[in-house]
Amino acid sequence: MGEFVRLEVADGLGTIRLDRPKMNALNAQVQEELAQAAAEASERDDVHAVIVYGGEKVFAAGADIKEMASMSYGEMLQRAPRLSDCFTAVSRIPKPTVAAVAGYALGGGCELTLCCDFRIAANDATFGQPEILLGIIPGAGGTQRLSRLVGPAKAKDLIYSGRFVPANEALAIGLADELCEPGTVYETAVARMSRYVKGAPLALRAAKESIDRGLEVDLSTGLAIETGQFAALFATDDQSIGMTSFVEQGPGKAEFTGR
């Protein structure tokens, strides 16, 4: 458990909780603790889905500008790859993930939401990539993940302008997947992710990897990835359990073991 980031587990759900007062600024320590929590959530058999949550006041208002302001080109040249790696660790959690967003998700905070499969936001939440206002660009995946999620033209508008995006616009452009009342974002995320807790873990992993890797390659290569993942699942106990249960009891009755 880190000083500012911890993994809490209950009922098959792992919550990666950011807690660095006042605004969950993502300094180097928080970045490293995020990577550690992501690794733990990936490895633990009792975690079947993951919620990334910053609390009901703010998700994360961005990088720690005070920490970065005095860094030289040489220093950032060394740090930037590790910054990207820490966020990528969250994106590569081989289980369903959701960002539960209250308050601000700006800069690195918005980039962190992009590392999750889904984004649930309070209807008064605010997203944005305001790095251009500081004379820089997003450096933790924003130029790449945002354009893949909302399309290049919309991503360019948000990144070029640095403007804040209200929750209703985020929902309209696909930056958010679901809105809820303020104060209920965590409970809404729990309800959403509980759908996946009893799913076949190896099949969920295969589905996520097929989709994510497929988006990075041409269609032919993506189909080959899917074919390999599909066939591999026939070596698992869960495939046998699932198909036997379907034949004998109908759909939705299987109790998977993750083997």
The model's pLDDT over 83-113, given as tens digits with 9 standing for 90+, comes to 999 999 999 999 999 999 999 999 999 999 9
pLDDT of residue 251 exceeding 90, the answer is no
Active site annotation includes 32: no
Residues 147 and 66 in one domain: yes
Given 8, 111, 216, 255, which residue is catalytic?
111
Q: Which amino acid is at 36?
A: Q
Residue 89: per-residue pLDDT:
98
Specify if 67 maps to a domain.
yes
The strand pairing partners of 16, in sequence order, are 7, 52
Residues 130 and 165 in one domain: yes
Specify if 163 maps to a domain.
yes
Task: Quote the number of domains for the chain.
Answer: 2
Residues 225 and 132 in one domain: no
Between residues 252 and 110, the one the model is more confident about:
110
Specify if 255 maps to a domain.
no
Specify if 254 maps to a domain.
no
Residues 26 and 135 in one domain: yes
**What is the CATH classification number for the domain harbouring 241?**
1.10.12.10
Residue 63: per-residue pLDDT:
85
pLDDT of residue 136 exceeding 90, the answer is yes
Average of per-residue pLDDT values in the chain = 96
pLDDT band per the 50, 70, 90 thresholds, residue 118? very high
Look up the domain containing 23 and give its range: 5-193
Q: What are the CA-CA distances from residue 91 to residues 50, 68, 113, 133, 162 (Å)?
A: 11, 24, 9, 26, 23
Residue 1: per-residue pLDDT:
79
Q: What are the CA-CA distances from residue 10 to residues 50, 51, 64 (Å)?
A: 11, 11, 31
Specify if 95 maps to a domain.
yes
Give the alpha-carbon dihedral of 82, 88, 93, 94, to 10 degrees: -120
**What is the CATH classification number for the domain harbouring 113?**
3.90.226.10
Q: pLDDT tens digit string along 28-65?
A: 999 999 999 999 999 999 999 999 999 999 999 988 89
Question: What distance in Å separates the CA atoms of residue 107 and residue 26, rounded to the nearest whole number?
Answer: 10
Residues 185 and 212 in one domain: no
Kindly give, in sequence order, each residue whose CB lies less than 8 Å from that of residue 97, ignoring residues fewer than 6 positions away.
Answer: 49, 50, 51, 52, 90, 115, 116, 117, 118
Cis amide leading into 198 (omega within 30): no
Q: pLDDT tens digit string along 178-213?
A: 999 999 999 999 999 999 999 999 999 999 999 999
SS3 of 138, please?
coil
Active site annotation includes 131: yes
pLDDT band per the 50, 70, 90 thresholds, residue 223? very high
Given 8, 56, 75, 131, which residue is catalytic?
131
pLDDT of residue 240 exceeding 90, the answer is yes
Specify if 257 maps to a domain.
no
Residue 252: per-residue pLDDT:
84
CB of 157 within 8 A of CB of 135? no
Q: What percent of the chain is helix, strand and coil (3-state, nearest 5)?
A: 50, 15, 35
Phi-psi bin for 18: left (phi > 0), alpha (psi -120 to 50), beta?
beta
Residues 24 and 94 in one domain: yes
